[in-house]
Structure 1
Amino acid sequence: MLRRNFKHVLRNPVAVFNGLLFPVIIMLMFVYVLGDAFSVGADYVDYATPGMVLLAVCYGLSSTAVAVNSDMTKGIINRFKVMDVSRGAVLTGHVITSMLGNVIAIAGIFGTAFALGFRPSASFADWLGVIGLVLLLSFTISWFTIALGLAAKTPESAGMAGVPLVMLPFFSSAIVPAEKMGPGVRQFAEYQPFTPIIETLRGLLAGSVPTGSAIAAVCWCAGIGLTGYLWASSTFNRRA
Structure 2
Amino acid sequence: MTRRELAHWARQPVQVVVGLVFPVMLLLVFGYLIGGGRGVSGPYVDFLVPGMLALTMAFGLEGTMLAVTQDLNKGVVDRFRSMPMVSGTVLVGRAVADMLQSAAGLVVLIGVGYAMGWRPGGGAGFLAAVGLLLLFRFAMLWVGIHLAMVAGRPELVQAVQILVWPVGFLSNAFAVPASMPGWLGTVVEWNPLSATATAVRELWGAGAGGSSWAADHAGVLAVGWPVVLVGLFLPLAVGRFGRLKG
TM-score by length of 2: 0.88
- Which residue of structure 1 lines up, in the alignment, with residue 200 of structure 2? 201
**Structure 2 counterparts to residues 158-177 of structure 1, below 5 A:** 158-177=157-176
Identity, % of aligned positions: 31
The alpha-carbon deviation at position 18 of structure 1 amounts to 4.3
Q: 1: distance between equivalents of 2:37 and 2:102?
A: 29
| 1:108 corresponds to 2:113 | no
Please, which moves more after superposition, 166-175 or 213-222? 166-175
The alpha-carbon deviation at position 79 of structure 1 amounts to 0.7
Q: 2: distance between equivalents of 1:46 and 1:56?
A: 16
Closer/same/farther in 2, CA of residues 211 and 127 from structure 1, 3 Å limit = farther
Q: 2: distance between equivalents of 1:47 and 1:158?
A: 32
Letter in 2 for 1:12: Q
The alpha-carbon deviation at position 30 of structure 1 amounts to 0.6
- Which residue of structure 1 lines up, in the alignment, with residue 217 of structure 2? 212
CA RMSD of aligned residues (A): 2.2
The alpha-carbon deviation at position 85 of structure 1 amounts to 4.4
Q: 1: distance between equivalents of 2:103 and 2:195?
A: 20
CA shift digits 1:71-103 (9 cap, x unpaired) = 112111111112344434211111111111111
| 1:72 corresponds to 2:72 | yes
Q: 1: distance between equivalents of 2:182 and 2:148?
A: 34
2:133–2:196 CA contact under 8 A, matched in 1: no
- Which residue of structure 2 lines up, in the alignment, with residue 139 of structure 1? 138
Residue aligned with 1:174, SS:
coil
1:38–1:44 CA contact under 8 A, matched in 2: no
The partner residue of 1:235 within 237, 240, 243 is 240
- Which residue of structure 2 lines up, in the alignment, with residue 26 of structure 1? 26
Please, which moves more after superposition, 183-192 or 62-71? 183-192
The alpha-carbon deviation at position 37 of structure 1 amounts to 6.5
Q: 2: distance between equivalents of 1:159 and 1:18?
A: 17
Q: 2: distance between equivalents of 1:59 and 1:20?
A: 11
Structure 2, unaligned runs of 5 or more: 209-214
Residue aligned with 1:87, SS:
coil
Please, which moves more after superposition, 7-16 or 23-32? 7-16
CA shift digits 1:59-82 (9 cap, x unpaired) = 321110110111112111111112
- Which residue of structure 1 lines up, in the alignment, with residue 15 of structure 2? 15
The alpha-carbon deviation at position 211 of structure 1 amounts to 6.1
2:39–2:178 CA contact under 8 A, matched in 1: no
TM-score by length of 1: 0.91
Closer/same/farther in 2, CA of residues 167 and 198 from structure 1, 3 Å limit = same
1:189–1:195 CA contact under 8 A, matched in 2: yes
- Which residue of structure 2 lines up, in the alignment, with residue 224 of structure 1? 229
Letter in 2 for 1:146: I
Letter in 2 for 1:29: V
2:38–2:179 CA contact under 8 A, matched in 1: no
1:66–1:159 CA contact under 8 A, matched in 2: no
Closer/same/farther in 2, CA of residues 133 and 7 from structure 1, 3 Å limit = same
Structure 1, unaligned runs of 5 or more: none
Q: 2: distance between equivalents of 1:56 and 1:230?
A: 24
